[in-house]
């Protein structure tokens, strides 16, 4: 009986410590969003969150897949225009699209190489998405951030802060190790 009590106490202590750590990270992420709002908007006083909820998480592997799909779509579009320009005799535009197709293939190859080199890191969290509403004061006016979205890295960096959820993940390929370097080599 004593063993069960001790085991139960240890389990409960672990649960409380785990919850406390999660709560601490949550508060740090709220503080990061508040700081980013202040940086973006200027002097914000008395910012208070009415809501702040996690609405998603993206792993590095999922981000690689999203970027791969984006380049595949771009490749299809470039191929369509290349075919159209070639058939129409618009050689200058066809040449531009041919170069774009070659770049698309290069980026897809590089993304595949990155995916293969990351191994277990593909399962790591690239960023967490939050939806929030907040109020505060900006100089002589009131700030009302209703239904805003933020993507936050595991280190607490606000990667994206937008009102339109469709724009939340734009440019977040930079969370993939080596992704930015793909474009530096051009």
pLDDT 10s digits, 26-49: 787 777 777 776 666 566 677 788
DSSP structural state of residue 163 = S
Q: How far apart are CA 164 and CA 141, in angstroms?
A: 23
> Domain-by-domain residue ranges, the chain?
2-59+125-173, 61-120
**Confidence category of residue 181, pLDDT binned at 50, 70, 90:** confident
pLDDT 10s digits, 136-148: 887 778 878 899 9
pLDDT 10s digits, 127-173: 999 998 888 887 778 878 899 998 999 988 889 889 999 999 998 99
Torsion 101-103-106-112 (CA) sign: negative
Alpha helices in 89-155 (DSSP H): 91-118
Whether the pLDDT of residue 56 is over 60: the answer is yes
Whether the pLDDT of residue 14 is over 60: the answer is no
pTM of the model: 0.74
Distance in Å from the first CA to the final CA of the chain: 69
pLDDT of amino acid 17: 38
Which of 89-98, 109-118, 157-166 is predicted least confidently? 157-166
What is the average per-residue pLDDT within 61-74?
A: 96
């Amino acid at each position: 009986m004593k063993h069960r009590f001790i085991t139960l106490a240890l389990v409960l202590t672990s649960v409380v410590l785990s919850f406390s750590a999660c709560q601490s990270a949550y508060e740090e992420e709220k503080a990061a969003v508040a700081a980013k709002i202040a940086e973006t908007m200027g002097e914000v006083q008395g910012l208070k969150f009415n809501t702040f909820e996690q609405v998603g998480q993206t792993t590095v592997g999922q981000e690689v897949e999203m970027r791969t799909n984006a380049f595949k779509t771009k490749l299809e579009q470039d191929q369509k225009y290349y075919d159209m320009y070639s058939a129409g005799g618009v050689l200058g535009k066809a040449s531009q699209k041919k170069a774009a197709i070659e770049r698309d293939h290069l980026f897809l190859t590089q993304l595949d190489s990155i995916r293969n080199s990351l191994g277990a890191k593909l399962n790591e969290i690239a960023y967490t998405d939050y939806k929030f509403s907040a109020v505060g004061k900006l100089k002589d006016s009131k700030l009302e951030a209703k239904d805003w979205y933020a993507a936050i890295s595991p280190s607490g960096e606000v990667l994206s802060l937008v009102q339109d959820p469709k724009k939340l993940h734009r440019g977040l390929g930079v969370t993939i190790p080596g992704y930015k370097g793909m474009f530096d080599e051009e």
